[in-house]
């Protein structure tokens, strides 16, 4: 019985030591992981740091808070990668039905609709995604590409400017702005 008591004390001591050592790391790691903090940093970051912040934001936005919804998202992502857009759309529709407040699900379904050429539903889903997460610069960029396809360069340019205001180093946004600038702003003589 004395041996069991000593083992218990050693286990408790080891657990407390582990928790004590880990606490400062957990506190410092959580300091800059809120969406607001990451977005604030993104605005003033250089291009290299911005890539890391972008990865952190995307990881944050991909979290639905539900293992079942994450599974639907994973299945949809796999189906899209394999080119099975109809299966992806079915998974994403189930996801948006069961998690209507998960903006990333709406954004992904908009991408699937767009790939299928269903631009009306794509725009509707992008609007829903942006209503839930107005800072999703990828959804704003996607909306700009749809405007561009509808031959509305001014609206596309405005969307790209909005995305750039959030993520100043977004390569696709910068490229789109450069491409549309002469058409929207006029050509210098």
Residue whose structure tokens are 């995307």: 58
How far is the C-alpha of 186 from the C-alpha of 82, rounded, in Å? 42
**Helix extents (H) in 30-152:** 35-44, 47-61, 67-81, 85-98, 103-115, 119-132, 137-149
85, 90, 92, 159, 171 from 51: Cα distances, Å: 28, 31, 27, 21, 10
Statement: the pTM of the whole predicted model exceeds 0.85: no
pLDDT in tens, the chain (189 residues): 555 544 545 554 444 434 444 444 333 344 457 999 999 999 999 999 999 999 999 999 999 999 999 999 999 999 999 999 999 999 999 999 999 999 999 999 999 999 999 999 999 999 999 999 999 999 999 999 999 999 999 999 999 999 999 999 999 999 999 999 988 887 553
């Amino acid at each position: 019985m004395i041996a069991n008591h000593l083992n218990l004390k050693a286990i408790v001591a080891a657990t407390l030591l582990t928790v004590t050592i880990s606490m400062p790391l957990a506190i410092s790691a959580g300091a800059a992981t809120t969406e607001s903090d990451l977005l604030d940093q993104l605005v003033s970051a250089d291009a290299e740091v911005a890539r890391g912040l972008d990865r952190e934001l995307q990881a944050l936005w991909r979290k639905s808070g539900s293992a079942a919804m994450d599974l639907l998202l994973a299945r949809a992502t796999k189906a899209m990668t394999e080119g099975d857009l109809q299966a992806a759309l079915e998974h994403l529709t189930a996801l948006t039905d069961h998690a209507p407040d998960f903006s990333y699900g709406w954004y992904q379904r908009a991408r699937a609709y767009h790939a299928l050429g269903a631009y009306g539903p794509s725009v509707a889903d992008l609007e829903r995604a942006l209503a839930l997460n107005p800072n999703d610069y990828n959804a704003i960029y996607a909306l700009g590409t749809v405007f561009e396809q509808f031959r509305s360069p001014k609206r596309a340019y405005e969307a790209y400017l909005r995305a750039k205001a959030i993520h100043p180093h977004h390569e696709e946004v910068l490229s789109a702005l450069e491409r549309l600038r002469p058409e929207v702003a006029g050509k210098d003589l």
